[in-house]
C-alpha cells in the first residue's frame, strides 16, 4: 500500500488536519477537524479521495470544531474517538471547562481502543493510547507514519496544565508507545511541522 499524507492548518490555532489516503484504492480518512474545514473539503475533492471515516486524536475544540461541516459536506460517516472522550462528540459537551464551546452532537460515533486496529476501507491504523494532554488522547500509526495529536510535537510535547491533564501520563505514553517505534517513523503532530521518532528521541528537550 502506498499511503499519501496531506495536511491543512487553520489560522487561529495552527491546528493540523490530515488527509490520509491509499493511493491505489483512493480510500481515505481525515484525522482531526480543525477550524477551517473548507480547506479539507477542497483537498478531498481535488484528490478525488473516498473518505471512509473521521479519526480524532482527542477532542479539544481546535481538533473537532470543523467536524459538523465536514460531515455535512462529505456525508455521514463513522467518527472514531477514544471512549473516555466519546461524550464530547455524542453529547456536544466541551472537553475543557476553560474552553466551554458546545458543538452539535454526532450520532455516528465509534471507538478507538488501545492495541486494536481501526479499519477504514483498505486503511488499517494501530491505535496507541497516549493520554496526558487529555484523557482520551490517542496516536494513530499506519506504515511509517504516526499521528500524535497533541502528545508529541517536533521539539516539544503537549500541554498538561488543564484540570483533566496528567503530565506524568503524558511522558509515560510518549516514552513507552511512541519512542519505541522505529527511528524512521514520520511524526505528524497536531500543530507544527513533521519530524521523525529518531529525531525526537535524540533532540527533544522535554524527553
Tell which residue, 141, 144, 111, 109, has the closest CA to residue 128. Answer: 141
| pLDDT of 110 | 97
pLDDT in tens, 17-43: 999 999 999 999 999 999 999 999 999
Does residue 99 have a pLDDT over 80? no
For residues 54-61, give the mean pLDDT.
97
**CATH at 58:** 3.60.15.10
14 torsion bin: left (phi>0), alpha (psi -120 to 50), beta (else): left
Q: 48 pLDDT exceeds 90?
A: yes
Domain count, the chain: 1
**Reported pTM:** 0.97
The SS3 call for residue 26 is coil
pLDDT tens track for 149-195: 999 999 999 999 999 999 999 999 999 999 999 999 999 999 999 99
40-45 contact pairs (CB < 8 A, 24+): 40/8, 40/66, 40/70, 41/69, 41/70, 41/73, 41/74, 43/6, 43/8, 43/19, 44/19, 44/74
Residue range(s) defining the domain that contains residue 68: 3-203
Amino acid at each position: 500500500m502506498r499511503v499519501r499524507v496531506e495536511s491543512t492548518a487553520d489560522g487561529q490555532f495552527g491546528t493540523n488536519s490530515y488527509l490520509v489516503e491509499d493511493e491505489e484504492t483512493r480510500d481515505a480518512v481525515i484525522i482531526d477537524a480543525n477550524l477551517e474545514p473548507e480547506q479539507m473539503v477542497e483537498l478531498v475533492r481535488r484528490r478525488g479521495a473516498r473518505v471512509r471515516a473521521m479519526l480524532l486524536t482527542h477532542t479539544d475544540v481546535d481538533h473537532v470544531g470543523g467536524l459538523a461541516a465536514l460531515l455535512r459536506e462529505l456525508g455521514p460517516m463513522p467518527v472514531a474517538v477514544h471512549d473516555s472522550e466519546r461524550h464530547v462528540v455524542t453529547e456536544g459537551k466541551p472537553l475543557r471547562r476553560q474552553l466551554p464551546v458546545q458543538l452539535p452532537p454526532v450520532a455516528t460515533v465509534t471507538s478507538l481502543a488501545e492495541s486494536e486496529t481501526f479499519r477504514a476501507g483498505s486503511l488499517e491504523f494501530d491505535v496507541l493510547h497516549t493520554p496526558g494532554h487529555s484523557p482520551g488522547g490517542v496516536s494513530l500509526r499506519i506504515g511509517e507514519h504516526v499521528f500524535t495529536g497533541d502528545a508529541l510535537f517536533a521539539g516539544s510535547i503537549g500541554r498538561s496544565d488543564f484540570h483533566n491533564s496528567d503530565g506524568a501520563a503524558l511522558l509515560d505514553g510518549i516514552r513507552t508507545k511512541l519512542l519505541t517505534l522505529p527511528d524512521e517513523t514520520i511524526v505528524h503532530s497536531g500543530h507544527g511541522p513533521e519530524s521523525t521518532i529518531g529525531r525526537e528521541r535524540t533532540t527533544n528537550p522535554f524527553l
